[in-house]
Chain A
Amino acid sequence: MTHAGGYSADPRLRWPEFLPWIAALAAFFLLPEYLSLGARILIYMLFALSLDLILGYAGIITLGHSAFFGLGAYVAGILSAKAGITDPFLQMAGAAAAAGLLGVVTGAVILRTRALALLLLTLAITSIVLEIANKASWLTGGADGLSGVTVAPILGQFRFDLFGRTAFLYCLAFLFIGWFLVRRLIYSPFGAMLTGMRENTARMHAVGAPVYRRLVGVYAISAVMAGVAGALLCQTNQFVGLNVLGFEPSGELLVMLILGGVGRIYGAFVGPLVYLIAQDLLAKQFPEYWYFGIGLLLVVVVMFAPGGILGLIDKWMPSSKPRSSAKASAH
């Protein structure tokens, strides 16, 4: 179940890889009252997938991935609320471009560092973006959030309805595209090279790889994906709040990915699914203590399944031997 890519890897789809899509379509038909939660889960899956690409494969550690998510959300929202652009794909394109640009610019500055320095710099960047969003209230709505976001029907046909049916399928389509591209990338020479940088940077330098340039490249790709996820959140909620930026959403995302399993593609699916459903259930049952339940879940997973939930499946099914475990990528 690990997807390590590389020159020895078989890139063909295996049957469990169809499960997420079958499950998503089944949920669409069988659980109509949960579609807005479903859309939220799909958005976080895309966001987590973008993190897995840089953390799990390239070994770039970050606590600032919300900068791109939040920027994407705000750009999509501002394009609608302030510039009157209501076409969802135009909003999406704007969000993706802005996030990608921020990824290149900040990546070029911070990716010369590693480990703790890098962690702090990423955190600093999302904090700066948060502060800008907070202060520029004429543009972003500040602490009140950005309302008045309108999204025209997709392709002039499919209106975002009250039950979240359109939103769910819309998010599912973007997740599918993101998944398809990431999977392609992981199994390509570029993906193999990412794993090489994670495993041993000194060696990648010594075989003549322009390591820094490649890191900035993959960081920008990931930023675009995160920006698209942010735009999806904005379009489906028709609102953007400051809580999409800063440490909290970044940390929460990291927790989701670790929960699911790092460096395996599908950890980014399992993590947000379990985390957001648990959050939903716990918040209903114990509105005051739900974070306690999340904390407990995380402690159990980290202690008993250091490879995340998908790591447990590897343990139980010895036939699918992990080659690059999440343990390796966590360093």
Chain B
Amino acid sequence: MDAVLETQKLCKSFGALTVAQNIDFRLQAGDRHALIGPNGAGKTTFVNMLMGVLRPSSGRIVLGGEDITRAPQAERVKRGLGRTFQINTLFRHLPVLDNVALGIAERRGVAHRMWRPASSYREIIEESRELLSTLGIADVASAPVMDLPYGKQRLVEIAIALGLRPKVLLLDEPAAGVPSEETDKILRNLQKLPSEIAILIIEHDMEVVFRFARRITVLVQGEVLVEGPPEEIARDRRVHEVYLGEPHHG
């Protein structure tokens, strides 16, 4: 099966500091893939290169068979790449509904229209509401995002990304900063996501990783240390040494 997203020998360095080194990575439709690694391993750098926020020093990024290494962010999104942010990146003063609707309007190609009132675009508002209710936050649709508890704000992050109907979804620590009793709710929502979307999750919470992912890539100092199914990763000695901080004796 062909990869929907692929990187070939992706490198990034800032001066003498190398934060990504020859990363070969493949994601297929329907994948549930986790990217883990200790702090500073280059996980967010990797996501930023995929999204076009950072330009790789060398290597290629291929989305749906086409080279997008130099494509601007907007074009990547149009081709089916969606993301959530590690730290909430929302329209804080705007209602939850508008947060989602702005993205949907971009996807539907009506965001540049200047005449009819936005609130008369029924199809956008309806789609936004449906999306919010599948994530269980339809009740707060008209509240400003900043008034929501953090856990619900994380769900808005996911809602915005889903509104773009991505083929590939990058979840940058979706449970970061969320109290543990709410993590489960986010996880249950993630498990309900449409099965055809390829999902790459970057996460520190091992419970989330092992419950969600069917494949795991371990990144250490900008390099892929090992890749495999969760059972293998859990048994891998090198992972325990460098990542879980349990030096292996003999």
Contact = CB atoms under 8 A, between A and B. Distances in A.
A184 to B, nearest CB: 6
B119 A187 contact: yes
Contacts, number: 139
Given A5-B118, A7-B125, A8-B142, A208 B74 contact: yes
B114 A8 contact: no
A184 B98 contact: no
A279 interface: no
Contacts of A56: none
Contacts of B111: 189-190, 192-193, 209
Contact of B93 (A190, A191, A323): A323
A145 interface: no
Contact of A199 (B75, B92, B114): B92
A9 interface: yes
A185 B111 CA distance: 12
B113 A207 contact: no
B167 to A, nearest CB: 13
B89 interface: yes
A191 B107 CA distance: 16
A200 interface: yes
A193 B51 contact: no
Contacts of A185: 114
Interface string B134-149: 0000000110100000
Interface string B61-85: 0000000000011111110001101
B192 interface: no
Contacts of B94: 4, 6, 195-196, 199, 323-324
Contacts of A199: 91-94
Could you say which interface size class chain A belongs to?
Answer: 35 or more
Contacts of A203: 85, 89-91, 160
A11 interface: yes
A11 B92 CA distance: 21
A10 interface: yes
Contacts of B141: 8
Contacts of A217: 112
Given A7-B98, A199-B91, A200-B91, A207 B115 contact: no
Contacts of A184: 114-115
B95 A207 contact: no
A323 B144 contact: yes
Interface in A144-203: 184-185, 187-193, 195-196, 199-200, 202-203
Given A184-B115, A193-B111, 7 more contacts: A7-B128, A8-B98, A193-B102, A205-B74, A206-B73, A206-B89, A323-B95
Interface of B: 51, 53, 72-78, 82-83, 85, 89-95, 97-98, 101-103, 105-107, 110-121, 124-125, 128, 141-142, 144, 160, 163-164
Interface of A: 4-11, 184-185, 187-193, 195-196, 199-200, 202-211, 214, 217, 323-325, 328
